[in-house]
């Protein structure tokens, strides 16, 4: 009884009843495994976590391709021993006729001689200088014999055209014989030069007309007795030599303006080569 009263007076608390046992919860994953289904894990976003927005797609600028640059190609010549001999011979004659020497060789020396003449001489003096050089290049007795034996005719015109294409490509470049109509019939009396070597090397209208076209027309007429009309095309640098045709009085080649941006006479000598 004392023990019981002591226990009652001390306020001994009865032992706490254990909580009731709850049935064990099955996880969804275990349930899915028991059912033979693949497990699915739930992913929960962390609270108060800022999700960065993806950057906007870069703006792609449309770039227009530049048009291809068309470069002007210069013809490369491979002169034979005969070509080099003829070039040197004519160059020396031009230098002696003008009295102006230069130390350059080959076609470069020929162009330098022509450039010097065009820069220092008047137009009429240029014609006379080239005529003198041509007379020295061809002995007078040979020219007289050709003039007597080959008077103006279809045969002589076609002969001169063929002769030019064989023996003068070193001066004007590769060329070919073409036909034209003379007195109502076809003749092979035209020499067509696709790209004149002299004009391409100088890019000079004045040197073409005053040191080639006009002196050669006069020389062939006077020395060989055959008219010839040289018709250069300054757009593509081609040329036609028409044997048997007189040059027109109002020659369009003499009205061609200077190639100011390319002309070597204009650049090197400040020559107004359009007159």
Per-residue model confidence as pLDDT tens digits over 71-102: 457 788 999 999 999 999 999 999 999 999 99
User: In angstroms, rounded to a whole number, what is the distance separating the alpha carbons of residues 232 and 195?
Assistant: 10
Q: How long, in residues, is the chain?
A: 275
**Amino acid 197: pLDDT:** 96
Q: Which residue has the tokens 């059912």?
A: 35
Residue 266 pLDDT class (50, 70, 90 cuts): low
Q: For 114, left (φ over 0), alpha (ψ -120 to 50), or beta?
A: alpha
Give CA–CA dist 207/190, Å, rounded.
22
Pick the range with the lowest mean pLDDT from 64-68, 185-189, 208-212.
64-68
**Percent share of the chain, pLDDT over 70:** 69
3-state secondary structure (DSSP) of residue 54: coil
Would you state the structure tokens that stand for residue 266, as one six-digit string? 């204009």
CA distance 159 to 203: 30
C-alpha–C-alpha distance, residues 192 and 200, integer Å? 15
pLDDT for res 103:
85
Mind listing the pLDDT tens digit for each residue in 99-136? 999 989 999 999 999 999 998 899 999 999 999 999 99
Residues 6+ apart with CB under 8 A from 245: 227, 228, 229
Other residues' Cβ atoms within 10 Å of the Cβ of residue 23: 5
Angle, to 10 degrees, between the axis of helix 106-120 and the axis of helix 123-137? 140
252 DSSP assignment: G
pLDDT at 261 over 90: no
CA distance 67 to 231: 34
- pLDDT band at 265; cut points 50, 70, 90: low
Q: Which residue has the higher pLDDT, 266 or 232?
A: 232
Asked if residue 234 has pLDDT above 70, the reply is: yes
**Residue range 160-167: average pLDDT?**
96
Angle at 33 (CA atoms; ends 27, 34), nearest 5 degrees? 90
pLDDT tens for each residue of 128-154: 999 999 999 988 899 999 999 999 999
- With 0.85 as the threshold, say if the pTM is over it: no
DSSP state at residue 227: -
Categorize the per-residue pLDDT at 3 as very low, low, confident or very high, splitting at 50, 70 and 90: very low
The answer to whether the CB of 226 falls within 8 A of the CB of 156 is yes
Whole-number pLDDT of residue 67: 46
| H or E element in which residue 229 lies | strand 228-233
Of the chain, the percentage scoring pLDDT greater than 90 comes to 56
Q: How many CB atoms lie within 10 A of CB 206?
A: 23
In angstroms, the CA 87 to CA 32 distance is 102
pLDDT at residue 59 is higher than 50: yes
């Amino acid at each position: 009884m004392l023990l019981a009263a002591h226990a009652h007076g001390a306020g001994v608390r009865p032992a706490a009843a254990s909580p009731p046992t709850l049935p064990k919860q099955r996880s969804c994953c275990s349930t899915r495994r028991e059912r033979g289904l693949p497990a699915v894990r739930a992913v929960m976003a962390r609270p108060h976590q800022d999700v960065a927005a993806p950057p906007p797609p870069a703006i792609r600028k449309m770039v227009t391709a530049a048009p291809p640059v068309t470069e002007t190609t210069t013809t490369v010549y491979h002169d034979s021993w005969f070509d080099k001999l003829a070039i040197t011979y004519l160059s020396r004659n031009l230098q002696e006729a003008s009295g102006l020497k230069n130390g350059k060789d080959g076609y470069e020396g020929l162009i330098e001689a022509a450039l010097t003449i065009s820069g220092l001489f008047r137009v009429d003096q240029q014609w006379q200088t080239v005529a003198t050089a041509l007379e020295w290049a061809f002995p007078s007795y040979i020219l007289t014999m050709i003039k007597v034996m080959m008077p103006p005719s279809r045969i002589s015109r076609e002969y001169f055209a063929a002769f030019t294409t064989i023996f003068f490509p070193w001066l004007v470049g590769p060329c070919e014989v073409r036909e034209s109509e003379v007195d109502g019939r076809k003749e092979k009396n035209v020499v067509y030069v696709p790209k004149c070597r002299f004009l391409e090397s100088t890019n000079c209208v004045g040197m073409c007309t005053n040191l080639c076209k006009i002196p050669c027309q006069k020389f062939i007429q006077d020395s060989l007795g055959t008219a010839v009309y040289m018709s250069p095309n300054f757009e593509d640098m081609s040329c036609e030599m028409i044997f048997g045709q007189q040059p027109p009085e109002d020659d369009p080649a003499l009205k061609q303006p200077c190639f100011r941006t390319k002309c070597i006479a204009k650049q090197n000598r400040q020559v107004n080569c359009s007159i």
